[in-house]
Amino acid sequence: MTSTELPFPGLRSGVELVPTTDTPQTGKEFTSDQEVRWCPGCGDYAVLKAVQGFLPELGLRRENIVFVSGIGCSSRFPYYLDTYGMHSIHGRAPSIATGIATAREDLSVWVVTGDGDALSIGGNHLIHALRRNVNMTILLFNNRIYGLTKGQYSPTSEPGKITKSTPMGSLDHPFNPVSLALGAEGSFVARTIDSDRKHLTSVLSAAAAHRGTSFVEIYQNCPIFNDGAFDAIKNNDTKADAIIPLVHGEPIRFGAEGGKGLIRDGKTGGVKVAEVADVGEGALLVHDAHNPDPSTAFAISRLTDSGYLNQSPIGIFRQVERPTYDDQARAQIGTASQAAPGAPDERLAALIGGGDTWTVV
Amino acid sequence: MVSKQVKQLDRVIIRFAGDSGDGMQLTGDRFTQESAAFGNDLSTLPNFPAEIRAPQGTLPGVSSFQVHFADHDILTPGDAPDVLVAMNPAALRANLGDLPKGATVIVDTHDFTTRNLTKAGYTANPLDDDSLADYALHPVDLTGLTVAAVKEFGLSRKDAARAKNMFALGLLSWMYGRPVDSTIAFLQRRFAKVADIRDANITAFKSGWNFGETTETFAVSYEIKPAPMPAGTYRNITGNLALAYGLVASGVRSGLPVFLGSYPITPASDILHELSKHKAFGITTFQAEDEIAGIGAAIGASFAGSLGVTTTSGPGIALKSEAIGLAVMTELPLLVVDVQRGGPSTGLPTKTEQADLLQAMFGRNGEAPVPIVAPQSPGDCFDAALEAARIAVTYRTPVMLLSDGYLANGSEPWRIPEIDDLPTIDPDFATGANHPLEDGESDFWPYLRDEETLARPWAIPGTPGLEHRIGGLEKGDGHGNISYDPANHDFMVRTRQAKVDRIADSLPPLQVDDPSGQARVLVLGWGSTYGPIGAGVRRVRKAGYHVAQAHLRHLNPFPKDLGEILERYDKVLVPEMNLGQLSMLLRARYLVDAVGYNHVRGLPLKAAELAEAIGELVAQAEGVDVDLTAPAEEAIS
């Protein structure tokens, strides 16, 4: 078999081809007339508010924004935004968004999904969207439980979890969504928290600006079926030790007074937590989100607890430039079209009239 | 030069059979192209195993290609071959049962070794005993002759022997007076980069021709005159190619970019391959990670203003069911192409069947009506694709296009249409608000319907002021917001059904072929059985009996006059390559006592057997004895 060098359309912003507006926009314009129907106290409200507040900052024409979702609590999201939107079927939002993003370069495409939607029933579409690097932003609301079906364990639930479907404890080993996305060679992989609006907004901005598939895991509390799942990283007394903040170009430090940090683990080749006082500041790992090799980002992602969440790195793990599927698909069509001038009707006549023909008079 | 006798024939059926690696499909295809160029009418039936290279020399590894060509209009690839070319013992054994007595059998003796005979299940060499006495047997060492003929090119023995199919093609081309230029030109193109292989194949081809002309083994050659056909420019075309061209044409004639989301599956993959070559028409082909993603991306593209298409076979439809339901609920244009194959489950991937009709009709949760269009011949796949696109775009609905394995790979001469004669399709995108408000302003309601078609507006992203959300949840009438209201759901379910039923208003009357006007039996079919039914009906009429024929292109909704037509006949016979799926629909809808004629052998129906079944029904309906053997058979196809 042979292969060919693909032309690289060049680096661009994630929204570069989307029409903009000079008219200032407000969050209200992005709010639809539909009543929001999540449970009181649901983390989804905070994310919705943040997105409604953030979208005007992009300055894009509202009609050129499309939100696509699957099934689950979070997937009601598009109904509450006054943009174009589709609430589709369970797990398939990335495939539908792939069609939209490939068909139209002038749209800003967003996928809203949950841990069940994206990682169980839709796991296949998620990893393939990531490897293709289709220009879209995927927001994965991870509450580590099935909410809409009323409280079964999810693919991110901790082992041993007692739920309606696991009265003796869940046997499933959970996915770490960030590890999974990095394993699928996602070009933009980040994690943020529903309750930290400032961090959430900064990650969303970076995700929108990235050209390719931006994957953002958002820790989101379900007050009904999994309340307190993220208490350790939200509680003011514990969060300093629980959150490992990732900032590109900065040494990775956390803990009260920044007393802890990440260093290379010489034995495993991975990374591990150390007391800064023991190892010295110079030994701390400096976060490099732009490293083409995802190994270190993956190693950092492994510091996330798979059981109850007492420790988790937060921020942008990886942000690298890579050609996008949709740009290249459109480039191939452009190249082929340029090489075939003429009216479509005439070219159609030439196509169907080709091959070995004979004429009967 | 021996002076040879030339006999006139009106039609011939040849079957080329060999091992999967012997190039039988190519040989048959070339013979077909030569016959097409000569001006015969023709119909072909490729038949090959699902395995790419099944164990050499075994019965499961046999691949064959049947071509029926004639000096008159024919409808099927033929029931029984007049000539069998068998390249090895397995090919002989696998196909001999289909031959009538007196058929010509040409075998390559080279492969009739003890080892190969054993592999094929022979305990004795059939060429040496009298087991083939009923046939006109021509044992020829095709391989040995080929190797000798191409000696000058210095190929390995293996490579030299591979040209034996071209030797066989040359021999048969001589026997039937085929024009050879197109095959020589084809070989020059195909092997342009490997001069010795090219020259060996051309030499083998010419040597085969010369062998026929000079040797005394073959005393007679045959002439089959060109068939009279309507004026026009023709080409030979397979169903998959015609269907792909129909999709290209749908894009051109609607002005919509075509977006194909597809996952490779036999026998539909060739449509994906073909469309991927036509990016210059603005066609995007997306090879998805699975069947569901294929249709998902197509739905997304439709939402974004493309003509979304997904192509698959029966197992793929099963996987796409939920997404088809989404397209029903969101009322987006979508083409779902099902190239049916033998089922259930993986079934018979390379063989044909019509057993997905009920899946197409009902294979979704809830009341989810989907229009169904079925082509009746390989060339007709072109028009059927355009018709499916017309319905999808006009009525904002997924449409099922039911082809099958026989149509997909079979071929026939196709009169190339004039572009101006093709229908135009108007996407009619929504551009502004459609719903007046009390304050004199207006807003956009995505489910406010066209009064005539009941279609909803197609408002694509990028259109200012028409921002809206759609999805799988039930929609409120008009405004399209989520609604759990019982009366609304009842109304919307009925409205979606009514919209599909309305398509019947746009359909032409069903053509009934009843030349005498005295028939009391109607034969009603759909899809690829058109050929065998037509040929069966001809036989019955030729024998002096009356029978009417009608063929359904639209399976959902049915043409409006179908019920009235069914009432006109005492008996209705419904031949299908399934266990009676159309029969079941007709019985349920029209309370008609439809009689099924059903075979699921993975092969097209046989016209002669079908004619007997028609005859029996005519006998019952008219109270007469029916004997189809009375008249001469040679003019019947």
pLDDT tens, residue by residue, B475-485:
999 999 999 99
Contact A98 B259 (CB under 8 A): no
pLDDT at B635: 41
**Band of pLDDT at residue B637, cut at 50, 70 and 90:** very low
> How close, in Å, is residue A309 to chain B by CA atoms?
33
Tell me which residues of chain B, numbers 214 to 233, contact chain A at a CB-CB cutoff of 8 Å: 229-233
Assess A237–B contact: CB distance below 8 Å, yes or no.
Answer: no
Is the minimum CB–CB distance between B308 and chain A shorter than 8 Å? yes
| DSSP codes of every residue in B2-48 | ---EEEE-SEEEEEEEEEGGG-HHHHHHHHHHHHHHHT-EEEEEEE-
Q: Are the C-beta atoms of B221 and B6 separated by less than 8 Å?
A: yes
Closest CA to B477 of B501, B503, B454, B453: B454
How close A111 comes to chain B (CA, Å)?
12
Taking contacts as CB-CB distances below 8 angstroms, the residues of chain A near B299 are: 88, 96, 99
pLDDT of residue A7: 72
- Asked whether the predicted pLDDT for residue B634 surpasses 60, the reply is no
- State the nearest Cα–Cα gap between B421 and chain A, in angstroms: 11
Q: How far is A148 from chain B (nearest CA, A)?
A: 14
Mean pLDDT across the stretch B326-334? 98
Selecting from B289, B467, B481 the residue whose C-beta is nearest the C-beta of A34 gives B481
Which among B284, B302, B308 is the nearest to A333, CB-wise?
Answer: B284
E strand or H helix at A149: none
Cα–Cα dist B637/B625, whole Å: 23
Determine whether the interchain pair A352/B482 forms a contact, defined as Cβ–Cβ distance below 8 Å: no
pLDDT digits (tens, 9 = 90+) for A31-73: 999 999 999 999 999 999 999 999 999 999 999 999 999 999 9
pLDDT band at B122 (very low <50, low <70, confident <90, very high): very high
pTM over 0.90: yes
B563 touches chain A (CB under 8 A): no
Closest residue in chain A to residue B422, using alpha carbons only: A345
User: DSSP 3-state assignment of B361?
Assistant: helix
- In this structure, are residues B368 and B328 in contact, taking their beta carbons and an 8 Å threshold? yes
The answer to whether residue B4 scores a pLDDT higher than 80 is: no
Q: Does A327 touch chain B (CB under 8 A)?
A: no
Positions of E strands within B578-633:
595-598
ipTM of the complex: 0.97
Asked if B282 lies within 8 A of A337 by C-beta distance, the reply is yes
What span, in angstroms and rounded, lies between the C-alpha atoms of B435 and B145?
80
CA distance A235 to chain B (A): 37
Residue A277 at interface with chain B, using a CB cutoff of 8 Å: no
CA dihedral B343, B348, B352, B354 (to 10 degrees): 0
Q: Is residue B633 predicted with pLDDT exceeding 70? A: no
Region B221-236 average pLDDT? 94
> Is B243 touching A (CB cutoff 8 A)?
no
Nearest CA in chain A to B379: A352
Residue B292 in this model has a pLDDT that exceeds 80: yes
Residue of A nearest to B181 (CA): A356
With an 8 Å Cβ cutoff, is A264 touching chain B?
A: no
Is the bond preceding residue B557 a cis peptide, omega within 30 degrees? Answer: yes
> Does A62 contact B at CB distance below 8 Å?
yes
Backbone angles phi, psi at A118, to 5 degrees: -85, -35
Sign of CA dihedral B406, B411, B415, B417: positive
- Mark the ranges of chain A whose per-residue pLDDT is less than 50: none
